[in-house]
Amino acid sequence: MLTPFVAIFGTLALVAVLALSIFAPFLAVVLVISEDYLWAVATVAVWFVWLRFGGPVRRCVFEGFEHGSI
């Protein structure tokens, strides 16, 4: 009964972690190319904050990913 909710939450958490970790720098480059500098700087700032303070969230998500493969 609880399994679908845990699976959905885990998938959403994994997508969010990967998007914030990998997609943000690429988005910043695209924004610089399209000359939208304010949004590019904001994206890089969010990315740096995520890298600095998102450690517990990343650890929790990847730990769950590891336990899910057992």
Q: What is the pLDDT of residues 40-68, one digit of tens each?
A: 999 999 999 998 998 888 888 877 666 66
Q: What is the per-residue DSSP string for 5-65?
A: HHHHHHHHHHHHHHIIIIIHHHHHHHHHHTT-HHHHHHHHHHHHHHHHH-HHHHHHHHHHH
Q: What is the pLDDT of residues 23-46, one digit of tens each?
A: 989 999 999 999 999 999 999 999
Show me where the domains of the chain are located. 3-68
Distance CA 28, CA 59 (A): 25
CB-CB contact of 40 with 28 (8 Å): yes
pTM attached to this predicted model: 0.71
Distance CA 4, CA 56 (A): 24
